[in-house]
Structure 1
Amino acid sequence: MRIALPGPLGRSWARAVLVVLVPLVIAGLALLIVPLVTGLPGNAAFRVGGTVVTKDQLHDRVEVLSALYGIREPVGGSELEQFRRDIAKAVAVSKILDNAASERKIVIADKSARDTLTKMIDEQMGSGQDGQRAFTDLLAKLKVSENDVLDEVGRQQRTARLFQEVTAPAVATVTDDQLPSYYESHRADFAVPAQRHLRNIVVATREEADQVVRRARDGADFAALAGETSLDESTRSSQGDLGFVTASQLDAEYAKAAFAVPVGSVFGPVQTRYGWNVGQVLEDRPASQPSFEQVKDQVRDALRSERAVATWRTWLADRIRAADVEYADDYRPADPDAPPPDDSATLPQPGMSGSPAPAASSLSGSLLSLPSASAPPSLSAPPSLSLPVAR
């Protein structure tokens, strides 16, 4: 049975119901709809601009970075939590830089990336079919595709060109009359550290290393021993010759031994991650302080670089803040709007050499080398290309 309200009262009550209930219904719908429109989907790691990067997509990116840069995801605990936040921020910033490059119409032709990769393969793995075969084997070992590598090469080239465009005005302000004062206030930066010319032999066991030491100290020719016994393919053909190196270029324990003995001495065995090492000191170059005139060009480059990086970081901080990246709780970095740490001084240079000596500490079993195997690549300055051979 339906109860009918009399005329005006019924109409007034109906209007009251509409006035009260309709806003409540709209508010309730809003509670349901707003998260769908403005919030992050449940599987999202972050959103930058209109692009949502899911947790699965971020994981796939970590897999590629692991192969290309030697990055390793921690197993668990607070390190994994910090890694997750760091890598989310690094990938978010890379998206911001991609967008900035697109706005400036910076395009890297496929041929440019391909030519760069071909040059890297030729210089490090050999030219022709042998080099390409070695590269293909390396891709299989690292479980990445050639397109993954080409995409990263193109990304680095875009970032480098973006860096040049953003920082060109600041670089142009450097004049020669500013250089002497800069040199005087940064004398230590231009000091030449002590160097030693070394030969090195790598063997698998301590017993083999002890035997190499005995033979060398009994008068056997060290160069011949290196060609005969060393496991390091990159230096065996040159009789273990590492050339002149500084302590900072070597494994810490190996450097301590190499710089503690007189010229002509055999030292070791020293264990590094590549095996047991026995070395010989051929020559010594003491540390020195070059004059301003001797390093004038380096001073100019250093001042230009300092101003470029400062300008880049300010610009990058502004872009990050403007992007207003939304992170899921588990992926939100401590300071989402800050630019990445400035460790650009440790970014690798395009050395393009083959497998360096096993005593060297900067190696990684990766395609595009970065200094740390535990942190995502820094975007505080554009990375340089390097392609060390995985061991």
Structure 2
Amino acid sequence: MNLSGLRSVLGRGLTAVRRWPLLVPRGRARVVSLALSGVVLAGATTHVAVTWVTALPDNAVLRVGETVITEDQFQQRIGALEALYGVKVPQEGQQLEQFNRDAAKSIAVSLILDQAAHERGVVVAGKKARDALDKIIEEQLPGGRDDFVKFLSSQGVAEHDVLDEVKRQLATSRLFEQVTADVAQVTDKEVRQAYDERKKEMVSPEKRHLRNIVVKSKSQAKRLLDQAKAGTDFATLAKKRSLDQSTKNKGGDLGTLTADQLDKQYAKAAFNADKNSFFGPVKTQHGWNVGQVVAVTPAKQLSFDDVKKQLKAQLNQKRTLETWRAWLGNQITAADVEYADEYRPDNPDAPPTDTPPR
């Protein structure tokens, strides 16, 4: 992962949460995230109170209240981040400096959340954390616990460190539920008002059913395009010539997609072509492409009934998140956070955006 990738991770929630690739596949509606020790998903607008009055020890990265994180402890956590999530630490220069500032902020805010959970009596039993971890292993790893143990061994990570992270996530989730328990639900009248205000946005975009063939060269793609235009069955050409192993046996069928789901240049060609026509060659990172437009589903204005349920859920989520952000902002503002100069965040008041996992 490069610097921009890390900063994206650090900016979500409370800064650094990554899906564990061996355990949580893309596309799961409910994601169970494991985070680096001290790096917690929190999801809130925050205001970090930075104090420089009391000098930090020479080997300190930061201090929250009476808790000091030394450079050795900081590097241990970065090492866990590398092992668990594949994050690559820049070797030197401005990228390394920015990496360290982002990671330091992440750790500081996680300590504040830990203290808040303790003060509110939020405790996660070891058995509950283990049950949660066992469920993830069972559902996501084909080889079960054996694969899990092998992975930890290969990365030099102890299982108790992973369990600590599961506990932290569960505790943060409970904390979120406590803080937002009394948030009033959005009324139907408010949902209707929101729909009327955003009606122009309530549109199902145009979709296209596409077939595709990928080959190595532009000349190959041009020959296939000519054959398709001359009447050769496109699906047959795809089965014989396409390099895309995921679609070639389906005659190159990509399914029905919006332009946003496609490579930009490919989408431009596909959505400018007529129904039943062919397009290309188009170069993408996978090679040279020739496509066929099988069907076109026009854009459609969505009615209030079409979007009511989803819109209401979004509005409730927004209201809940605003309450969480306000609470968390107060917690961080009240905290006594100090950073060593080289670890002080660029924008300590920058607001993360997500909610804790639930």
Whole-angstrom CA distance in 2 between matches of 1:137 and 1:205: 41
Structure 2 unmatched ranges of 5 or more: 1-53
Give the 3-state SS of the residue equivalent to 1:168 in structure 2: coil
Give the 3-state SS of the residue equivalent to 1:261 in structure 2: coil
> Does the 8 Å contact 2:206/2:298 carry over to 1?
yes
C-alpha displacement of 1:237: 5.3
C-alpha displacement of 1:181: 0.8
Q: Could you say which residue in structure 2 is the equivalent of 1:169?
A: 182
Aligned positions of 1:213-292 closer than 5 A = 213-236=225-248, 238-292=250-304
CA RMSD in angstroms comes to 3.8
Give the 3-state SS of the residue equivalent to 2:105 in structure 1: helix
> Does the 8 Å contact 1:262/1:281 carry over to 2?
yes
**1:114 is aligned with what amino acid?**
D
Q: Could you say which residue in structure 2 is the equivalent of 1:198?
A: 210
Q: Is 1:113 the counterpart of 2:133 in the alignment? A: yes
Whole-angstrom CA distance in 2 between matches of 1:150 and 1:205: 50
C-alpha displacement of 1:330: 1.0
| Greater RCO (Cα-Cα under 8 Å, separation 6 or more) | 2
C-alpha displacement of 1:179: 1.4
Cα distance change of structure 1 residues 324 and 216 upon mapping to structure 2, 3 Å threshold: farther
Aligned positions of 1:115-154 closer than 5 A = 115-121=135-141, 128-129=142-143, 143=155, 147=159
Give the 3-state SS of the residue equivalent to 2:204 in structure 1: coil
C-alpha displacement of 1:341: 3.5
C-alpha displacement of 1:54: 3.5
Cα distance change of structure 1 residues 139 and 341 upon mapping to structure 2, 3 Å threshold: same
Give the 3-state SS of the residue equivalent to 1:169 in structure 2: coil
Aligned positions of 1:13-52 closer than 5 A = 39-52=55-68
C-alpha displacement of 1:255: 2.3
C-alpha displacement of 1:290: 1.0
C-alpha displacement of 1:325: 2.0
C-alpha displacement of 1:333: 1.1
Aligned positions of 1:326-365 closer than 5 A = 326-336=338-348, 338=349, 340-342=351-353, 344=354
C-alpha displacement of 1:309: 1.6
Whole-angstrom CA distance in 2 between matches of 1:137 and 1:230: 37
Cα distance change of structure 1 residues 286 and 133 upon mapping to structure 2, 3 Å threshold: farther
Give the 3-state SS of the residue equivalent to 2:186 in structure 1: coil
**Partner deviation per Cα, 1:52-99 (whole Å, 9 max, x = no partner):** 333454445445545766655455544443333222212322333344
Aligned residues: 300
C-alpha displacement of 1:301: 0.4
Q: Is 1:382 the counterpart of 2:319 in the alignment? A: no
Cα distance change of structure 1 residues 208 and 292 upon mapping to structure 2, 3 Å threshold: same
Percent identical: 49
C-alpha displacement of 1:261: 1.6
Q: Is 1:86 the counterpart of 2:102 in the alignment? A: yes
Q: Could you say which residue in structure 2 is the equivalent of 1:125?
A: none
C-alpha displacement of 1:231: 4.5
Whole-angstrom CA distance in 2 between matches of 1:250 and 1:134: 34
Deviates more, 1:159-168 or 1:131-140: 131-140
Q: Which has the larger radius of gyration?
A: 1
Give the 3-state SS of the residue equivalent to 2:104 in structure 1: helix
Whole-angstrom CA distance in 1 between matches of 2:76 and 2:217: 38
Task: Write 1 or 2 for the structure with the bigger share of helix.
Answer: 1
> Does the 8 Å contact 1:114/1:150 carry over to 2?
no
- Superposition TM-score, scaled by structure 2 size: 0.67
Whole-angstrom CA distance in 2 between matches of 1:297 and 1:232: 38
Q: Could you say which residue in structure 2 is the equivalent of 1:21?
A: none
Q: Could you say which residue in structure 2 is the equivalent of 1:27?
A: none
Whole-angstrom CA distance in 1 between matches of 2:223 and 2:347: 55
Whole-angstrom CA distance in 2 between matches of 1:258 and 1:150: 48
Cα distance change of structure 1 residues 290 and 204 upon mapping to structure 2, 3 Å threshold: same
> Does the 8 Å contact 1:269/1:277 carry over to 2?
yes
**2:109 is aligned with what amino acid?**
V
Structure 1 unmatched ranges of 5 or more: 1-37, 122-127, 345-380, 385-391
Deviates more, 1:320-329 or 1:196-205: 196-205
